[in-house]
Structure 1
């Protein structure tokens, strides 16, 4: 099983994240996952560097494989532009950008270009159309199309990788996972209680994803005490207490802060694991392993990333390597 580190662009500057991914590699992590935001989830997080500019530097500073979220629906990035960036990074660093997890996006990142924010059904249609364009271009085709969402006139990528990344589907609901099963190369989702996660993965496989890899982002809050971990989660990631439907439609960090202003620190106990020991992290990993997950990317939501990575190096990764 791959145990990776999630690099959170929303919480840290690009230069800080370069230091953290180097430390994650030294700590024994097997891979890196990155987000693709232009807006953080809260004013307290205070960052959102450009993921695609950052990936080249991050790969130069490490030897680990990477996976990245991407939104090909045509707001910030036309799928041609996104395919161009993906192909360029992959050509420079062969077999290092292992997967792209394509999602339908959130208003917070996409409304900024002034084209409005459609309902989920339209976002899914644009997602599928954008992925089809990226697939064709990265394969080397010259593409002309005039479908409902994108006009493409003799587009072609001239610098392409020998081993392009596969395209996972990023899903938060069972219905989306089911829909993605037949046309994506794998699934990316977030940690849920065992029963809910198993149900989602089963729906993905029943929808055509049988035999395809499943990756999960494991969000947790690490601290030297439960109180420290709880307060860190509340300060940095109380957005997890909001409903997924609301998350997709709020537009600014201020709106997210207003949406979650009534959430108390104690409520974090119910929505994000608070960990202080290596065994607690190992138990979470084992729980997801029982759901037949192939890759787990740990996102510690607290600000103290350096101490967390030291903790993982001493208390978690050696135990994982002994049992792998």
Structure 2
């Protein structure tokens, strides 16, 4: 399993994100993923720069690591034709190191354009049409498209990379696996469910990247780590069905007012001990994931974490994962 680093736009500004990207590459991470938000989950996180602008800078600050959006919603804030253009440009700038990760989105980020927030089944319809449009533009030539939700009129990407941009889609259950595996090159999920990998592999002959994500909060002081994880990541406890519906940071604050530090510490590895991180990663490779991106919680706490990752954590994860 390849080990990645998350450039979390909700907890760091653009300059720091680019600096962290270069540091993570030097530390030895295999790939880097970047969230694409308009809002942070909670006010305490305090950031949300434009992911695509930052990605452009990251392509020039790094040389080796694979890059991915984790994830972009190509249906409301962005029209899928614009996402295709952005992805092709990043692929060219990065020297063919980019994968376009897409998902159905959250109310938190998409409501800002004033189109309301549709139910889950409509969001999946939107995403399926968007992926078809993006893939059609990656084919080259002019594209006309008339779907239930989107229209494209004589669109064309004038700067296409030699290597087609892979498309990865976020899934959560059997229905979304069946819907998107035929349309995508790779799978994204945040829970280590073996049935997701099995279902995806059945439609890809087992030869497809499957990317997971694991939040951690490393700190030399465990109590400080638990406090920080609770402060900035208690939103995680709501589950994605809830998280997708809430409209802004105040709603996440209210929804998680009864989540305790103990609740967060039970779900997220916190503190200086690396064994809990390795233990939390194991279910992903046991489930069949090929890639796992770590999230170090706390925008101001990346340098120490990356040093520990280079010296101790990455070797421990690779040894445990058989690399």
Deviations 1:167-196 (A, max 9, x none): 11112334323432222211111144xxxx
Which residue in 1 is equivalent to 2:312? 315
Answer whether contact 1:106 1:249 (CA < 8 A) is retained. yes
Does residue 160 of structure 2 align to residue 160 of structure 1? yes
Match of 1:261 in 2: 257
TM-score by length of structure 1 reads 0.92
Contact 1:178 / 1:206 at 8 angstroms: preserved in 2?
no
Contact 2:35 2:72 in 1 (8 A): no
**Greater CA deviation, 202-211 or 26-35?**
202-211
User: CA RMSD for the aligned pairs?
Assistant: 1.9
Instruction: Compute the displacement of 1:297 (Å).
Output: 0.6
Q: Which residue of 280, 291, 296 corresponds with 1:295?
A: 291
Q: Which blocks of at least 5 consecutive residues in structure 2 are unaligned?
A: none
How far apart, in 2, do the equivalents of 1:128 and 1:34 lie?
22
Question: 1:145 is matched with which residue?
Answer: 145
User: Structure 1 pair 186/280, CA: closer, same or farther in 2 (3 Å)?
Assistant: same
2:237 corresponds in structure 1 to 241
Partner of residue 80, structure 2: 79
State the Cα deviation string for residues 97-136 of structure 1 (Å, max 9, x = none): 1x11210000111111001110011100110101111111
Q: Distance in 1 between matches of 2:201 and 2:62?
A: 33
Do residues 282 (structure 1) and 278 (structure 2) align? yes
With normalisation by structure 2, the TM-score equals 0.93
Does 2:28 align with 1:31?
Answer: no
* Cα 1:70–1:311 shift into 2, 3 Å: closer
Structure 1: 5+ residue runs without aligned partners? Answer: none
What is the total number of aligned residue pairs between the two structures?
Answer: 319
Alignment partner of 1:49 is 2:46: no
Tell me if the contact between 1:3 and 1:296 (Cα under 8 Å) persists in the aligned partners: yes
1:4 aligns with 2:4: yes
**Does the 8 Å CA contact 2:144/2:153 hold for their aligned counterparts?**
yes
User: How far is 1:274 from its partner?
Assistant: 2.5
Distance in 1 separating the partners of 2:46 and 2:256: 16
Greater CA drift, 111-120 or 142-151:
142-151
Work out whether residues 31 and 65 of structure 1, in 8 Å CA contact, stay in contact via their aligned partners in 2.
Answer: yes
Tell me the CA shift for residue 10 of structure 1: 0.5
Q: Structure 2: how far apart are the matches of 1:70 and 1:219?
A: 16
Describe the shift of the 1:72–1:281 C-alpha distance in structure 2 as closer, same or farther (beyond 3 A). closer
Change (3 A) 1:255 1:320: closer
CA drift of 1:151 comes to: 1.4
